[in-house]
Amino acid sequence: MSRSLKILKNSFRNLLTLKRKTLVTSAAVFCLFFHQFANSNEHDPLIETENPLILGVLPYTLPGPLLKRFSNFRNYLKEQLGQEILISTTANYKKFIKNTASRQYDIVWTAPHFVLLALDSGHYEISSTWKRPLETVLVTNKMSPILSLKQLARQTISTPPASAIVTLYAKHHLQNLQIDSPEFKEYKGHDASYMATITGSAAAAVTEYSVYEQAIKKGVPLRIIKRLPSIPGIGILLAKDLPQETRQRIKKALHNLNKNIKGQQVIDTHGFPDYRAANADEFKILRPFLDFYSKPAPPAQKETP
Question: Tell me: the pLDDT tens digits for 30-74?
Answer: 445 544 544 444 444 445 556 899 999 999 988 888 998 899 999
Contact 49, 40 (CB under 8 A): yes
Q: Same CATH fold, 136-229 and 3-133+232-290? A: yes
Ordered by start, the domain boundaries in the chain are 3-133+232-290, 136-229
Q: What is the pLDDT of residue 3?
A: 56
Q: How much is the pLDDT for 22? A: 44
Burial class (CB in 10 A: 0-12, 13-18, 19+), 2: exposed
The CATH number of domain 3-133+232-290 is 3.40.190.10: yes
Mean pLDDT value across residues 142-160: 97
Give the predicted TM-score (pTM) of the model: 0.78
User: Can you give the pLDDT at residue 68?
Assistant: 87
Q: How confident is residue 104, by pLDDT bands cut at 50, 70 and 90? A: very high
Q: What is the pLDDT of residues 162-196, one digit of tens each?
A: 999 999 999 999 999 999 989 999 998 999 999 99
Strand pairing report for 204-208 and 136-141: antiparallel
Alpha-carbon Rg of the chain, whole angstroms? 20
Confidence at residue 109, expressed as pLDDT on a 0 to 100 scale: 97
* Per-residue confidence (pLDDT) for residue 266, from 0 to 100: 85
* Confidence at residue 267, expressed as pLDDT on a 0 to 100 scale: 82
Positive or negative: CA dihedral 94, 95, 96, 102: positive
Task: List the CATH code of the domain at 136-229.
Answer: 3.40.190.10
